[in-house]
Amino acid sequence: MHCSQTIVITGVTRGLGRALTEKFADLGHVVAGCGRDENRLSELRDKPGSPHSFQSVDVLNGPAVGNWAKFVLKQYGTPDFLINNAAIINKNNSLWKVPEEEFSKVIDSGLKGTANVLRAFLPAMINVGRGIIINFSSGAGRIGFPQIAPYCAAKWGIEGLTKALAQELPRGMAVIPLSPGPVNTEMLQSTMGEKTATNYHSPKEWVERAAPFILNLTPADTGKSLSVY
């Protein structure tokens, strides 16, 4: 039985972020989340509602992320868990056919957005010398899959960024590149097609394993490439 934890999550409006938010709230933890879909954020403000907080923040906007972090730190104190989930994927295409702008958006969201959130929250977490950071990786970032090369590159980047950061953090903290495994989300449907994606667990099924897995991570896990299966 875990005592109540403060958990910060990006990309809470859909998919894995939404499932984790609702599950952690059900378990009695306090969630401070951000996303870009105001309608879905309003749904979360209604349920689970207070004492949780859900704000409209684009993780690519460094100053906005900084302001959000200041609010969260003042309102809730230093988070016990910081989960970088926000990311986008390109439309299926061979690498040389992916438009430059689309390629940049995928890399920026997956890598620069994560770095912005880390930059905003890490000083406070380092100051107290505790906290578990999860940067969502993917099998795509460890193996590579055709048609989604920009996404693979972003997730390979998450692996490297996370392993480097693990060597910079003080003892008592952890940062982990965590692959959720294949889950039937909108992102997987865009890659595999809706019919094939139904072969995999829904986010609500996945989160029954993922939430306790995350809550049981410790500083001893820092830098390890882990997976939820």
pLDDT at 1: 43
What's the average model confidence in pLDDT over 162-169?
A: 98
Residue 1 resides in a domain: no
Give the span between the Cα atoms of 46 and 192, in whole angstroms: 33
The string of pLDDT tens digits covering residues 46-98 is: 999 899 999 999 999 999 999 999 999 999 999 999 999 999 999 999 999 99
Give the span between the Cα atoms of 143 and 139, in whole angstroms: 6
Residue 121 resides in a domain: yes
What residues contact 202, with CB distance under 8 A and at least 6 apart? 183, 184
Q: What's the total number of domains in the chain?
A: 1
Q: Where are the alpha helices (DSSP H) in 77-223?
A: 100-107, 113-128, 149-166, 186-192, 194-197, 203-215
Residues known to be catalytic: 151
Range of 166-170, 186-190, 208-212 with top mean pLDDT: 166-170
Least Cα distance to 227 among 108, 139, 118 occurs for: 139
pLDDT at 191: 65
Is the Cβ–Cβ distance between 144 and 188 less than 8 Å? no
pLDDT at 203: 78
Residue 137 resides in a domain: yes
Residue 188 resides in a domain: yes
Residue 100 resides in a domain: yes
Q: Which helix (H) or strand (E) holds 21?
A: helix 15-26
pLDDT at 208: 92
How far out from the chain centre does Cα 23 lie?
15
Least Cα distance to 91 among 106, 79, 76 occurs for: 106
CATH code, 35: 3.40.50.720
